Structure 1
Amino acid sequence: MRTLTRSLLLAAAASISLSAGPITYTTPNLDTTAVGAVKTVSFNGANYLNKGLVGVGTFSSSAIDGLGDTLGSFSSFKVDVSSWRKNADGSYAGTLYTLPDRGYNVSGLIDYAARIQKFDLAFTPDYTTNNVLQNQVTLTFKSTIKVTDFDGAATTAVNPTATTLGSLSNVPVANGKLTIDGEGLAIRADGSFYISDEYGASILNVSKSGKLLGVITPVQALIPQFSNSAYTGFTTDSAAVATGVQTGGRRDNQGMEAVDITPDGKYLVAMLQSATRQDTPSNSDFNRAYTRLFVYDITKSGTPSSPIGHYLVELPTLSSKGVGAAANKTAAQSEIVALSSNTFMVLTRDGNGNGSGNAAYASGSSAVGYADNPMVFKSVALVSTANATNLAGTVYETGYTTTVTGTGPTLAPVAGIVAATTTDFVNLLNVNQLARFGLNLNTVGASGVATAALASRTITAASTNSLSEKWEALSVVSCLDTANPNDYFLLVGNDNDFITPTGTMIGTTYNALSSVTSKEVVESPNRILVYRVTLPGYVDPGLVVSARNRAPAVASKSLRSAQLMGTNFGSILKGRLTGSMRLAAPKVAADFDWQTAEQTSELCASGMPQTHGNKGGLRWWFDGSIRNISEDAGVLTPALDSRSNAGAVGLEWEVGTGFVFGLGIGMQDGKSEGSDGSNIGYTGRSVTSYLIGRGDVFFGSFTVTAGTQDFDTIQSAGAYGSTPSGATEGQSLSAEFVLGATVAEVGGWAVIPTVGLSRTSARVDGYTEAGIGGVTYPTQRLSTNTASAAVELAKAFEITNGTYTPFVRVGYDHDFGGKDQTSNVSVSTNGGTVGVAMTLPNADRDYAVGTLGMRWKLGELNAEASYEYRSGDNGYSENRFNLSLSSSF
């Protein structure tokens, strides 16, 4: 290893060619930055820091996934930022979703169903300079998500032979199935995924369970064009893709390689692995340097029909032998991370390393450790489209007009087109940092080592600790370091191509290792490298995702709390006033003599004397309640448990024959707790006025309640386990009209139906949360209309000096007239303030209500105690205990 390293370092001295064409690496591009040192890269006026490799982890190459196949590794992966946590001991944990490509080709292209693998990830960074094991990253396999089409049918990985499936067109299809070679993975805030497909240069949006939601089909410039009419669609047949036959569109096996979502969640970015065929003069590998990057606006549709941004990105070219010869290859890109809508990290690499089958010994290549195909280039670059030419909607997108001119060292964009700017950032070929974790850059096979020994040359063979050929996965997560808020972990994963000695694929076992002379392949573990980097101005997507998911729930809970406080006293009064009003109604409405229209206020329902009192005049009253409300979890909202206490006192007096007017003041407090740790604590004050009317047949009331609320604590379940909190105030205004009558008597039990109509308006003032990722909420408003109907059965029994009256009431409440509300909040991040659109779902509900209670009358004192149960949509349930007292002075 020492001999190889010294030779490679010497070779790196003159490796870069800065001609007018693409940057070219003719010898290995090695990074000699020392372990523990920081490397600074200036890009677009900011300094990006590479603080080095701080962790490595492996996962068995022979592991089996949830569908019974060899699990394979990482064509792409993403950490679910909503799951990312920093533990008290300085370690980290989260959920990692990984994407394998099209399976191991046990018999050519196979019927391998696309899938997403789910892992628990644990990570303990190592910031020392000591030599350590590769155990900082631990993966625990959890499950497999099978990708299916709209009808739930599995996909395949065989060669596409058609381009339509149901309502979809310009998609790769074979044997009635979508054909997918998955290469890129992104996670939306709602938990759904985007998968970029190499076959079709298309992008699939699939649900959490893997079911297809929609497809972004390729623009015309990416759809394969053939000079021979015998070929169409997305075939990868060797005759179809031969030079001179395929003349345009995405290159076979070089389709949509990477996909990501910008941190603000507004844009989807995707990138071809290398240049289109029309942009590859003479179809030469070294002329594939100008690839395409696309930007889609996903704020209105998850699968927009066309991009809003379309740019050229220059890729490096290289000499695969690493001995200074002219470039013969392009370092194709394999993954992208969107730092913003115009700044990206892009992983580009050569095709050398374990798994490539290029393990030959070269006696004349001493400068590169006698390797015929040494590792030359594997790096993460910074890319900016800020000053690049946007090709969206131009002939370069709608047709096959080439964007380049020249060839080899003179290859360049045509006049009028400016490509994106790029700068090398994190070089994976840092021999010092790799060696600390026991990794190396050896590529020569065992046969080459033996041949070298005959010439008295000592070299080391490639092993499981040699870097693999393909590195294709990137993901960024926050270090959650308050002292360095712009620091992130950059995870880089390999694609081991299912190389294992004990593999199984769609029921067939295989051994992917090779001992063929000069083509040796050794076992290639699934491996993750973790770098610590500083990304100035990068908006932490974890904060944005958290805000996007929790803001609607927090706003809805606050508004609902204000609304419930606004209606609390009204609903207590409704029960008491209904009892008071109806007991002064005629015996039975149907028996009323409409012709004589006698005044019969003293003729109460059988066995039910008046409860309003005999003396008349001024009366006092008290109403109180204890409520407990629970709601099931929604798609983005936690399960809720709310408790509140309320009490009100007031006066009422007669204002005319059959009419009573009342006033009251109330106080209440409560707390709403979410299953995710969020909670709202509040107190409220209210003023209530009402008018009771008693006619010869009907009785009714009209109540108006105005309230103010203090939200002393609004604590949400924020990003990374944090609990941002705020405080604000609210107001509510409610009005309700109730009409009822005693319509029948059954066995001495009076039957009293009532109907009601109410409207409640609630407002919660704007406020800003304090804490990590604090959200600024604007003033929110909610108006609700409710129609209600109920039937009560009641019977009075005589006791000394009064009566007691048991009653039972059942009813139905229907909210109506509501609608979804859209609003915007902003979240504070280390990269600045980011606006986030949110939708508050329609708050309307239907409720079934049941009440059991007892009323007492002892002289002028009236009392009522009741238990009420209310059940509504979305798992809403309410238990309520009410107590009312009233008497004359």
Structure 2
Amino acid sequence: MVHLSLSTLLFVLPAITTIVLASPARLDVDHQAQLSNAERFSQGLKTPAKPAKKFLEKKKKRAAHGSRTQTAKRATTSGVTIPVGTTTLFGGQAYVNKGLVGFGTLAADAKDSLGETIGGLGSAMEFVPGSWARSGTSNLYTGTLITQPDRGHNTDTTTDYVVRQQYLDITLTPNYDTATQTFEQGRKSVSMTYSKSLLYSDAAGVPVSGLDALGVRAATADSPALPIASATYDHLSLDAEGLVVNADGTFYVSDEYGPYIYHFSATGSLLSTIAPPAAVLPMKDGALSFTSDAFPDTGRAPNQGFEGLTASPDGSKLWAVAQSGMVQDGGADQDNKYTRIFGWDLTTSAPTLVEEYVFLLPVTNGKSKALATSDFRWLNSDSTSTTFILLSRDGKGMGNDDSESKHKDFLLISTAGATNIANTVYSTTVTPVAPGGVLVPGVTAITPTDFIDIIDDSELARFGLQNGGAFDETLISGKWESSALASCLDPLYPNDYFLLSLSDNDFITSNGFEAGAVYSDAYGKEVNTQILVWRITLPNNPGTIA
């Protein structure tokens, strides 16, 4: 995806039926209620903590006052009309959710040009630079997505899957009608067709593997110590998650084994590696331990590395988010509410970590269990702060044993008012920033604000989808881990964008083929890849676009 700086445009707030006020510089009522009295005191909150509101109750309330309760619409240049939308005021700017407008599927047993199962596409995606287009002034859009599966089919064990990109040609015909459709009607709004694959290799041309990282390749003058499959199988092991595509065709990939950020050439060959600070590296008994099968003593928790990756539009800064907290801060334990966001300056001779923040994760209902991050995307910045849209979810839905999801949301977050802990003891050492789940005094965390409810029942029903019902193809996927932005190319609404998200189906099919072997997943059902598309309005300078 090309990183473009858009001119700041005058934004006129449309008529709305719902306004949500939010300040990223302070905790909202719900998040204040999540904090212990010790945390509240350390952040200057003097009133006693109130019992946390149940997240489920908030969901029901939001559904009752959701994005489709309004009837006012406005015309577009394509001749169709769109909802005015629901506006969230965040950081003094307006963000508008105009609703779900597209849905499509790709068969779980689809194969790529290597004859292997196409799966896990939702781990990350970007548009091929310059591919996004609108057919005149019609309501038809086309483009090519670069999708990045993670480590292959691994519901039982990992395989020697060659990590890769899968290119998909997509067609979008946005549907703004409020009427309920059947599933077959709904999924016609987005079509996805496999195009080609790009395989990853290390600097020596050795294929990159999805196998668990049981070994360590020694550091060199040009590279930190790297995760490999084993001492006898010296293949770089990569559990690919985030993806940023640069204007020159090279790209960055974040992973969960390291967790590292890898810089690849346009042809998929490893160029260089960015190592995280000491607080993040997985250490066991004083040595690096990259495996995903056991907890280290400190650093990232297993399978909880750099889940999301994004960049500023000029390519000067690269950002990563850890899926959950560091082990010294409670790790992947759902009682641990704090993870971290990292920012590297790419204008220096070598990438330099210049920003690091603690992020307060959203929580579930009355049990207040933390919900991990899945992806995020740069939206705008000024001289003092940066704003992102972040995807957070539970894992319930198709592909899981529980069909009823209670949390799948796009959130707005900002570094405004949060404490930069880069180059402090909380970053350069394994000193915990939240010992016992309590944030240390003097450190203020980033807090999220709700923006889009992915599992809004009325929105899903418009496309023949459901949440909490039968385990069939109409059930919303459990795992959503990616996002992309594409301009609506609508001169009447120059700040309108399509927000896309792909599901990660974990390669679950009864008709699979990978790494030279046939497989049939024990789940017993076909888990198709799903894609959802929303139309949103961003205040200005929305960053990376197709």
Q: 2:391 aligns to what?
A: 347
User: Equivalent of 2:194, from 110, 134, 141?
Assistant: 141
Alignment match, 1:60: 107
Change in CA separation of 1:222 and 1:540 when aligned onto 2, cut-off 3 Å: closer
Whether contact under 8 Å (1:68, 1:506) holds in the other structure is no
Whether the 8 Å contact between 1:16 and 1:26 is mirrored in structure 2 is no
Instruction: Indicate yes or no: 2:449 matched with 1:400.
Output: no
Q: What pairs up with 1:432-581 in 2 under 5 angstroms?
A: 432-442=458-468, 460-512=469-521, 514=523, 522-542=525-545
How far did 1:198 drift?
Answer: 0.8
Secondary structure at the aligned position of 2:288 is classed as coil
One-letter code aligned to 2:503: N
Equivalent residue in structure 1 for 2:329, among 279, 299, 312: 279
1:340 counterpart SS class: strand
The residue identity in structure 1 corresponding to 2:424 is T
- Contact 1:155/1:178 (8 A) holds in 2: yes
Distance 1:388 1:16, change over 3 A: closer
Q: Is residue 56 of structure 2 the alignment partner of residue 27 of structure 1?
A: yes
AA aligned opposite 2:178: T
Normalised by the length of structure 1, the TM-score is 0.51
SS of 1:484 mapped into structure 2? coil
Residue correspondence of structure 1 range 260-271 to structure 2 within 5 A: 260-271=310-321
- Deviation (angstroms), 1:217: 1.2
Q: Does 1:83 align with 2:131?
A: yes
Task: Classify 1:177/1:514 alpha carbon distance in 2 versus 1 (closer, same or farther; 3 Å).
Answer: closer
Looking at structure 1, the residues matched to 324 and 30 of structure 2 have their Cα atoms a distance apart, in angstroms, of: 20
Query: Residue 35 of structure 2 aligns to which amino acid in structure 1?
Result: G
What is the aligned partner in structure 2 of residue 391 from structure 1? 421
* d(CA) in 1 for partners of 2:486, 2:299: 35
* Residue number in structure 2 paired with 1:380: 410
1:532 aligned counterpart, secondary structure: strand
Deviation digits for residues 629-656 of structure 1 (CA, Å, limit 9, x no counterpart): xxxxxxxxxxxxxxxxxxxxxxxxxxxx
1:204 to 259, 262, 269: 262
Is the contact between residue 106 and residue 505 of structure 1 (CA under 8 Å) also seen in structure 2?
A: no
Q: Which amino acid aligns with 2:534?
A: Y
CA distance 1:38–1:145, shift in 2 (3 Å): same
Task: Establish whether residue 237 from structure 1 lines up as the match of residue 293 from structure 2.
Answer: yes
Distance change >3 Å, CA 306–CA 17, structure 1 → 2: closer
Distance 2:225 2:494 in 1: 44
Matched position secondary structure for 2:99: strand
1:173 is matched with which residue? 228
One-letter code of the match for 2:304? Q
Alpha-carbon distance, 1:428 to partner: 0.3
Q: Give the whole-Å Cα distance in 1 for the aligned partners of 2:105 and 2:332.
A: 36
TM-score (norm 2): 0.82
**Which residue among 65, 71, 92 is the counterpart of 2:118?**
71
CA deviation map 1:823-852 (0-9, x unaligned): xxxxxxxxxxxxxxxxxxxxxxxxxxxxxx
Partner residue of 1:314?
360
Superposed CA deviations along residues 236-256 of structure 1, whole A, max 9, x for unmatched, are 233xx1xxxx33100110001
Query: 1:21 Cα shift?
Result: 1.9
State the alpha-carbon separation in 2 of the partners of residues 190 and 180 from structure 1.
Answer: 23
Equivalent residue letter for 1:27: L
Are residues 116 and 284 of structure 1, via their aligned partners in 2, closer, same or farther at CA, if it must alter by over 3 Å? closer
1:103 equivalent among 143, 149, 152 = 152
Residue 24 of structure 1 and its aligned partner are, at CA, apart by 6.6
Question: Aligned to 1:247, what secondary structure does the other structure show?
Answer: coil
1:42: Cα distance to partner? 1.0
- Counterparts of residues 794-813 of structure 1 (less than 5 Å): none
Determine which of 169, 172, 184 is the counterpart of 1:123. Answer: 172
Which secondary structure does the structure 2 equivalent of 1:397 belong to?
helix
**Which secondary structure does the structure 2 equivalent of 1:135 belong to?**
helix
Assess, with a 3 A threshold, how the Cα gap between structure 1 residues 169 and 438 changes in structure 2: closer, same or farther.
same
| Contact preservation (8 Å) 2:362, 2:370 | yes
After TM superposition, the structure 1 = structure 2 runs for residues 34-45 of structure 1, keeping only pairs within 5 Å, are 34-35=67-68, 36=83, 38-45=85-92
Name structure 2 gaps, 5 residues minimum: 1-28, 37-51, 69-82
Q: Within 2, Cα distance between the matches of 1:225 and 1:106? A: 25
Quote the residue 1:424 is aligned against: 450
Of 301, 316, 333, the match for 2:373: 333
Maintained 8 Å contact 1:18/1:24: no
The within-5 A match list for 1:705-720 is none
Classify 1:527/1:165 alpha carbon distance in 2 versus 1 (closer, same or farther; 3 Å): farther
- In 2, Cα distance between equivalents of 1:120 and 1:208: 19
Among 309, 333, 345, the alignment partner of 1:259 is: 309
- What is the aligned partner in structure 2 of residue 191 from structure 1? 249
- Listed one character per residue, the Cα deviations across residues 328-377 of structure 1 (whole Å, up to 9, x for unaligned) are x3211010111135110110011211212236xxxxxxxxxxxxxx3111
* Structure 2 Cα separation of the partners of residues 314 and 536 of structure 1: 24
The 1-side partners of 2:113 and 2:54 are apart by 42
Residue 34 of structure 1: how far off its partner (Å): 5.0
* SS of residue paired to 1:214: strand
Counterpart Cα distance in 2 of 1:326 and 1:199: 30
Q: 1:16 to 1:395 in 2, by over 3 A?
A: closer
Structure 2: distance between partners of 1:176 and 1:340: 41
Contact kept, 8 Å, 1:25 with 1:376, in 2: the verdict is no
Answer yes or no: is 1:358 the counterpart of 2:429.
Answer: no
Distance 1:487 1:305 in 2: 33
Q: Give 1:383 shift.
A: 0.7
Question: Residue 225 of structure 1 contacts residue 232 of structure 1 at CA under 8 Å; is this kept in 2?
Answer: yes
Q: Is the 8 A contact 1:17 1:26 kept in 2?
A: no
1:62-113 CA distance string (max 9 Å, x none): 1112332211021111123422111112311111000101111376221111
Distance 1:415 1:18 in 2: 15
CA distance in 2 between partners of 1:194 and 1:86 (Å): 28
Whether 1:93 and 2:137 are equivalent positions in the alignment is no
Q: How does 1:611-630 map to 2 (within 5 A)?
A: none
Tell me if structure 1 keeps the 8 A contact 2:67–2:98: no
Separation in structure 2 between the aligned mates of residue 429 and residue 79 of structure 1, nearest angstrom: 25
Post-superposition shift, 1:511? 2.1
Deviation at 1:142, TM superposition (A): 1.0
Alignment of 1:5-20 (within 5 A): 19-20=33-34
Q: Which moved more, 1:92-101 or 1:349-358?
A: 349-358
- How far apart, CA to CA, are the structure 2 residues paired with 1:69 and 1:106? 16
Q: Given that residues 478 and 540 in structure 1 are in contact (C-alpha distance below 8 angstroms), is that contact kept between their aligned partners in structure 2?
A: no
Which residue identity does 2:328 align to in structure 1? Q
3-state secondary structure, aligned to 1:287: coil
Query: In 2, are the aligned partners of 1:472 and 1:494 still within 8 Å (CA)?
Result: yes
Query: Which residue of structure 1 aligns with residue 12 of structure 2?
Result: none
1:151 corresponds to which residue? 204
Shift of 1:489: 0.5
1:164 aligns with 2:231: no
User: Would the alpha carbon gap of residues 27 and 186 (structure 1) be closer, same or farther in structure 2, given more than 3 Å must change?
Assistant: same
| Alignment check: 8 A CA contact 1:77 1:475 kept | yes
Quickly say closer, same or farther: Cα 1:183–1:395, change in 2 above 3 A: same
Cα pair distance change 1:375/1:142, threshold 3 Å: same
Contact residue 170 and residue 233 of structure 1 kept, 8 A: no
C-alpha change, 1:182 and 1:284, in structure 2 (3 Å) is: closer
Contact 1:104 1:497 in 2 (8 A): yes
Cα offset, 1:538, TM superposition:
2.5
Deviations 1:717-743 (A, max 9, x none): xxx8xxxxxxxxxxxxxxxxxxxxxxx
Equivalent position SS for 1:308:
strand
Distance in structure 1 (CA, Å) of the matches to 2:199 and 2:54? 40
CA deviation map 1:377-396 (0-9, x unaligned)? 10010110022111111111
Higher fraction of strand: 1
Select the residue among 415, 418, 426 that pairs with 2:441.
415
Aligned residues: 470
Q: Give the distance between the partners of 2:155 and 2:512, measured in 1 at CA.
A: 10
Alpha-carbon distance in 1 for matches of 2:244, 2:473: 29
Q: Is the 8 A contact 1:41 1:47 kept in 2?
A: yes
The whole-number CA distance in structure 1 between the counterparts of 2:155 and 2:398 is 19
What code does the residue aligned with 1:233 have? S
